[in-house]
Each structure stands twice: as structure tokens, then as C-alpha cells.
Structure 1
Amino acid sequence: MLTRVLSWCLFGLGSTGALAAMKSEAVAYRLGYTDMAGVLVFDDATDTKRPGLLMVPNWYGVNDGQVEKAKAIAGSKYVIFIADVYGTSVRPTNNEEAGKAAGGMYQDRSVLRQRARAALDAFKGKATDAPIDLNRLGAIGFCFGGATVLELARDGIELAGIASFHGNLGADPKWPVTSIKTPILAMNGADDTYVPAEQISAFTNEMQGAGADFQFVNFGGAVHCFAEPDANSPGCLYNERAAKRGFQMMNNFFDDAFAKH
């Protein structure tokens, strides 16, 4: 169901391909003493090099649903690497476990940033096995993953672009930002109670102060999780209209960003 819904949302937006040709491959990597396992996703019907997107999933981390989402987004347009920022020993199965895992990462943004960078390095390391154009790399994230890719930007990463879907916008004052080198597209639900107006204002001021090339978009009538097809709870609910527009904006954003590289 997840793949069908996402495929419909992305149909005609330039991202879908023959899903039967989609390949997913587990990729083991390590940071310090932490073992991690991401997933590489791409259409192997052609060996034409294409842009790569690091995808940081929501607070549930790497799971089958996120692989299906990556397949639908990748199509024949992108190679996607699903990042594992928790480590192989942490695979949440319910909201309580997911909240604990994500909360631990928020407590130490330096570890979160290191693990996101480790995933990016693992992704780059697969360029000999997958048709990744290393000159055209970006990052996307959903919910907790959206917050994580924003942390990459705050950490000074240089990519073609970063797109956040309904991610937390709050910054940790222990890690002040002086400059941001990667263009940002931050998409938010206008009725998202998890992202209050004060957080949006602080984010805008932070981006302007850091000289960022950024866009912030509010989707009317949408709440948190609007781009998650399986989200169906108060305050965290899929919104077909916002999701379709969000993926269209994401594709347009990266089309423009990659054209400059």
C-alpha cells in the first residue's frame, strides 16, 4: 500500500520508474564502536549515472516501509541511501521505543551529525557498485529525519541541496551556526502543533543570520507527518495534497540544484 500511494503521489513528477527493476541492498558500515546498516536503493535497469540522495527516515529508523518509500521516490531519477543513525542494535517497533531513540539523538547533536556524515560516507563508498553521480549529491529527511538533515546543514556540509519534510526546526544553542553552505528547502504543515510559530521564527532568523540559501514552505491544512502515507493519528496524519505538492517541490528544488553541479 505504501509504495502504491507514494507512486501515485510522484506519478508525473519525474521520479517514478519501473518499480520491478528497483534494487535494494543492505550496506554495513561502522562509526567508532557502533555497527550500522543502511540500505542502498536504485533502479538497476540502466547503468546511467544519476544524482544521489541521502535519506534519513522518521523516528522509526530503517525498516521495510522506509525501503518502499525510497523505491517510490528514487524511481529512475535518483540513487537513494537510507541512513541508519541509531545503529543496528536499535530498531524501534512502537512510538515509545522510537521516541526514546530519537530523543537520545537530540540530546547530543554532535553524535547525530557524526552518524549522518558516516552514512553519507558509506553512500559515497558505493559509487563503484551503483550508478551514483558523486558530483550531484543531496539529502532528504522525514520528521526526525528532516531535523537530522538540517543538522547536517548546520554542521557545514556542502551538498547540492537539503530538503526537510515536516522536520523539527529547533536548533541546539550549544551548537551555534555561523554559516550554512547548502541550499535548504524546509516544508512544514501549517497546522503542525509540534512546530510552533516561535520555532519557525527562530529558524528563519537562524537561516538569515547564517546567510543560508533557504526556502520555508507552509502547507495549509496539513499537520505533522503529512508526507508519511501510513501516518493516521491525531497530530500526525498523511495529507495527500500536501504530500504531492511537497514531492513536486522537492523534485523542482533538486532539478535546479543539480543543474548547477
Structure 2
Amino acid sequence: MTLRNETLTYEADGLSMASQFYWDDGLAGRRPGILVFPEAFGLGEHAMSRAQRLAELGYATLACDLHGQGQALDDLEQARAAIAPLRPDPHRTRARARAALQALTARAEVNPTRIAAIGYCFGGTMALELARSGAPIAAAVGFHSGLATVAPQDARNITGKVLVCIGADDPGIPPEQRAAFEQEMREGGVDWRLHLYGGVVHSFTNPAADRLGRPDFARYDAGADARSWSEMLAVFNEVFPG
């Protein structure tokens, strides 16, 4: 294995993005590409480490910039303020996601017809909004991702499979939001699945979540992390056979 990393720069939503591309240079030919959208804090170690793990499995991956210039914010309230304008305007969220998709599919290492998007927290929302936009992706996977959208009717545009993995006790994704998402997926005719993890709250995939000091809101859970990763790989085995 010869794992490589390169910064990809592109414009999106008026921002200059600096995302991180990972691939195994020892593999011949084009391979499936995976977009990895980060938590609301922006492009940090968590998203980059997940992109690297997927590259080690043979995918070409792009850990995507969220805030421009590759920024990673430290403060939760600052991160919430940064994404607040995006929540009511899915066109801006989709613009950032689609620009990342274009940057990934332009790479010679990537098979542009075999693409998936995953994301964590707000990044999961981005993966879902990219799917709702009708982008030609084979799968969208969200981990502790917000499920709400102001454009539920756009679920009919989704062409790939959808998987969301949610802590059953996540205070940011209450049962009524899950129920609305289920209804959206049904009405859109989507091939979807929702996994719930009992006793689990927000940010369960990120070991750094414990640093927030808010265990009732955000807390790492090794069991849910491992299970959700395996469930994502099962979806990839379906959509990327061979």
C-alpha cells in the first residue's frame, strides 16, 4: 500500500475550499470515490482519519472542507453560528457538497459513476442534501446527522441508497424528527434504512466528543462507532460490488 494525500482546492458558495484527498497509489485503475463531510466544527482530524481509513480499504476519498480555507473551529457556539445560515437554505448546503463532488470526480483515480457520500453531524445533513439534490451518488450515509430539511419533497430526487445511524437518546435528533424523516423517505420512494443505538447520544463516532464536557448531549460510544462503521461498509458492498 502507498497511501497518498493531497490538498484539493475549489470554489463553492463564495468560499475557497481546501479539502483533503486520499488514495492508495499502489492500486491500478479507477476506484469508487467517497465524499466525507465533517461535523459542524469543520474539517478536522475526525473526518480526515475516516477518509484515510476508507482509502486504506481501496476507495479514493475526499475529506471535505466546510467553512472555507480548511478551517476547523474550536468552539461549539461558533460552529453553530457558522452553519446557522445553511439550515434554512439547502441550496447553499448543496452548492458546497456539489462542488466537492465535482472536485472528487475530476480525479483520474476516481470512477465518476461510483460515488458515495458520508457525513458526521452537519456533514451527514450535507450528504443527505446532496442526495436530495438528485446528484448521481450510489449511497448517502449519515452518522448522528440532522435529519430535518426544508425541502422534504426533494426526496423523490434521491437515486441511491440511504443509511442513517442515530443515537436513540440524541437530544438534537428527537423521535419526532426521526418520524418526519421516515415519512419523507417513504413518500419519496427511497431505498432507506435507519439504525438506532440505545443509550447513545450525539457525536458517538468521535472520541474527541468527550472534551466538550457535555455527556448528556455528545459522548463517544465505541460500540455504536464500530457497528455504524460496519453497517456503512455493508451498504458500500451492495452499491460497489466487486
Alignment-mate amino acid for residue 204 of structure 1: E
- TM-score normalized with structure 1 length: 0.84
Kindly tell me: are residues 137 and 178 of structure 1, through their superposed partners in 2, closer, same or farther at Cα, counting changes over 3 Å? closer
- Residue 3 of structure 1: aligned partner: none
Matched, 1:259 2:216: no
**2:84 alignment partner, SS class:** helix
1:136 aligns with 2:138: no
SS at match of 1:27: strand
Cα 1:149–1:32, aligned 2, differ >3 Å: closer, same or farther? closer
Map of 1:176 onto structure 2: 153
Does structure 1 residue 221 correspond to structure 2 residue 199? Answer: yes
Give the TM-score normalised by the residue count of structure 2: 0.91
Distance apart, 1:50 and its partner CA: 2.2
Q: Which of 15, 34, 58 in structure 2 is aligned with 1:53?
A: 34
Residue 10 of structure 1 is matched in structure 2 by: none
Q: Structure 1 CA distance, aligned partners of 2:67 and 2:150?
A: 19
Q: Which residue of 151, 164, 189 maps to 1:211? A: 189
8 A contact 2:19–2:70 mirrored in 1: no
Which of 117, 122, 127 is residue 98 of structure 2 equivalent to?
Answer: 117
SS at match of 2:135: coil
- Post-superposition shift, 1:124? 0.9
Q: 1:69 maps to which residue?
A: 50
5+ residue gaps, structure 2: none
Residue in 2 that maps onto 1:163: 141
Q: How many residues align?
A: 237
1:241 to 219, 223, 236: 223
Equivalent pair of 1:24/1:67 in contact (CA under 8 Å): no
What's 1:149 paired with?
A: 127
For the aligned residue pairs, the C-alpha RMSD in angstroms reads 1.9
Q: CA deviation at 1:255?
A: 0.6
Deviation string, structure 1 residues 142-163 (Cα, Å, up to 9, x no partner):
0110111111121122211111
Offset, 1:70: 1.7
- Equivalent residue letter for 1:75: E
* C-alpha distance in 1 between matches for 2:78 and 2:95: 22
2:11 corresponds to: 30
Aligned AA for 1:102? I
Kept after mapping to 2: 8 A contact 1:165/1:188: yes
Determine which structure has greater relative contact order: mean sequence separation of CA pairs < 8 Å that are 6+ residues apart, divided by chain length: 1
One-letter identity of the residue aligned with 2:22: V
| Paired AA for residue 38 in structure 1 | S
Preserved contact between residue 39 and residue 122 of structure 2 (Cα < 8 Å): yes
